Amino acid sequence: MNAGIVTDEMTITLGLEAARAEINAQAMWEDAIIAATLRERLNGLAAETTGPVNLTRQNAIALLKIVSETLDEPMLQQSTSGVFIEHGAIDLLRKLIDAIEDLNDGKTHHALKPTATAANASLSRAERKYEQLLLESVLIVQLAKQFKSEGEARRFVVNCLRKKGKTWRGKPITMKTLERRKHRIKKYI
């Protein structure tokens, strides 16, 4: 009798595992279709632009619309009462699209207004990333080249950057530039 119970349990277990595998395979297939659709629409957006793609409000809105429209239907969630509800992330994307479109109308959504209390408010994200990259490169060069002081590494980095024509806010990078960047960051840490 125990052998029959074990066999029945194994059959049920194998059946459940097969059902789970089928559900997972179906979900993976649906995800692949969504990814292919998204890729196709993004390729269409890229094909519309000539040359390098620049960040403009129009491009940002088009990109966000493609993502939200492509993911909207697959991410609908069914409530316990049977009503389909929009996923919160899609709702956020739509609100972001509206906020960016409002900028074109001269209205700034409160989420997009600058924060006066931010420590690095005077620098853009790209400038902050570039600043961090400059400072990290000095430390990397100091370790890699085994310079005794940070000043030697800074001088080496400055010379290399100047040879390549790199600038900080339109001006050639100097030793003083890197020192100021370092002290500015330390002030807010």
Q: DSSP code of 75?
A: G
Per-residue pLDDT at 138 exceeds 70:
yes
Backbone angles phi and psi of 135, in degrees to 5: -70, -40
Tell me if 31 is assigned to some domain: yes
Tell me if 117 is assigned to some domain: no
Count of the separate structural domains present in the chain: 2
Whether residue 168 sits in one domain with residue 86: no
Calculate mean pLDDT across residues 102-128.
Answer: 76
Q: Which residue in the block uniquely carries the two structure tokens 């409002």?
A: 102
Tell me if 120 is assigned to some domain: no
Q: What is the pLDDT of residue 59?
A: 84
Q: Give whichever of 16-25, 83-92, 164-173, 180-189 has the largest mean pLDDT.
A: 164-173
Whether residue 136 sits in one domain with residue 47: no
Per-residue pLDDT at 12 exceeds 80:
no
Whether residue 135 sits in one domain with residue 105: no
Whether residue 72 sits in one domain with residue 145: no
Q: Which residue in the block uniquely carries the two structure tokens 């088009």?
A: 62
Residue 3, judged by CB atoms within 10 A of its CB (0-12, 13-18, 19+), counts as: exposed
3-state helix, strand, coil in the chain (%, to 5): 70, 5, 25
**Predicted confidence (pLDDT) per residue in 146-186, tens digit:** 999 989 999 999 999 999 998 888 888 888 988 888 877 66
Whether residue 132 sits in one domain with residue 164: yes
Whether residue 51 sits in one domain with residue 105: yes
Identify the domain containing residue 59 by its residue range. Answer: 2-112
Task: Flag the least confident range among 56-60, 85-89, 183-187.
Answer: 183-187
- Cα 137 from Cα 177, distance rounded (Å): 14
Calculate mean pLDDT across residues 12-26.
Answer: 74
CB atoms within 10 A of CB 178: 24
Per-residue pLDDT at 2 exceeds 60:
no
Whether residue 96 sits in one domain with residue 9: yes
Tell me if 164 is assigned to some domain: yes
What is the pTM assigned to this prediction? 0.52
Whether residue 105 sits in one domain with residue 129: no
Residue 61, judged by CB atoms within 10 A of its CB (0-12, 13-18, 19+), counts as: middle
Tell me if 44 is assigned to some domain: yes
CB atoms within 10 A of CB 64: 16
Tell me if 26 is assigned to some domain: yes
Whether residue 134 sits in one domain with residue 165: yes
Q: Confidence band (pLDDT; 50, 70, 90) for 145?
A: very high
Whether residue 66 sits in one domain with residue 146: no
Q: How far is CA 53 from the centre of its chain?
A: 17
Calculate mean pLDDT across residues 92-120.
Answer: 81
Whether residue 54 sits in one domain with residue 82: yes
Q: What is the pLDDT of residue 1?
A: 46
Whether residue 93 sits in one domain with residue 145: no
